[in-house]
C-alpha cells in the first residue's frame, strides 16, 4: 500500500495530515492522521518531520486496522525521538576524536625554525638588504 500526503490543516495545537492510501488494486481512500504540536516540541521533533512520522505510522499499521482517522500518540513520538537520538549518538561516535597539539619539553624543539636562505644570509658577510640580480633565461 502506498501513501500520498495531500496536505494538512491545523486546529489550535493539533495538525491534521491528510493522506491518500492507494491499495494494490488501485483503490483509494482518505486517511487523516492528527499530531499534537506541543508534544512534538517536548520531544524536540522538528515540524518538518511530522508528515514522515505519520506516514511511517500508516506503513507500520496493518492494512485492515487503518481507519479513516488516526492519532500520532505521545508513545509514537517518544519512540521516534529515542531512535533519532540513537542515530545522532552513533554518528558522534563515528567521528574521529580531535588530537590535541603536543609540544616537546626541550627548548630546541620549540624554537622557531630558521629558513635556510635566511640562515645562509646571516652566515655570509654580504648585505642581506640588497636586491637580487635579475636573471635572464
Task: Round to whole Å and give the CA distance between 92 and 105.
Answer: 33
Q: What average pLDDT does the segment 59-81 reach?
A: 83
Is residue 80 over pLDDT 80?
Answer: yes
Structure-model confidence comparison of residues 127 and 35, the more confident one: 35
- Per residue in 94-134, pLDDT (tens digit) is 877 777 777 766 655 555 555 555 555 555 555 555 555 66
Q: What is the pLDDT of residue 1?
A: 83
- Per residue in 48-67, pLDDT (tens digit) is 999 999 999 998 887 766 67
pTM over 0.95: no
Rounded to the nearest 10°, the torsion over CA 12, 14, 50, 29 is: -120
Q: Calculate the average pLDDT of the chain.
A: 80
Residue 44 contacts by C-beta under 8 Å, 6 or more apart in sequence?
81
- Residue pair 35/15 in contact by the 8 Å Cβ criterion: yes
**Which of the residue ranges 14-18, 38-42, 68-72, 98-102 would you say has the lowest mean pLDDT?**
98-102
Amino acid at each position: 500500500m502506498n501513501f500520498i500526503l495531500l496536505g494538512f490543516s491545523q486546529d489550535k495545537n493539533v495538525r491534521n495530515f491528510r493522506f491518500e492510501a492507494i491499495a494494490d488494486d488501485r483503490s483509494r481512500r482518505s486517511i487523516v492522521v492528527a499530531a499534537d504540536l506541543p508534544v512534538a516540541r517536548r520531544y524536540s521533533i522538528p515540524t518538518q518531520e511530522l508528515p514522515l512520522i505519520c506516514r511511517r505510522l500508516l506503513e507500520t499499521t496493518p492494512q485492515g486496522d487503518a481507519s479513516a482517522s488516526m492519532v500520532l500518540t505521545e508513545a509514537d513520538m517518544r519512540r521516534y525521538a529515542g531512535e533519532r537520538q540513537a542515530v545522532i549518538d552513533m554518528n558522534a561516535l563515528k567521528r574521529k576524536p580531535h588530537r590535541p597539539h603536543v609540544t616537546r619539553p626541550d627548548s630546541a624543539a620549540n624554537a622557531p625554525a630558521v629558513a635556510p636562505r635566511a640562515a645562509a644570509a646571516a652566515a655570509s658577510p654580504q648585505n642581506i638588504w640588497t636586491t637580487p640580480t635579475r636573471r635572464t633565461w
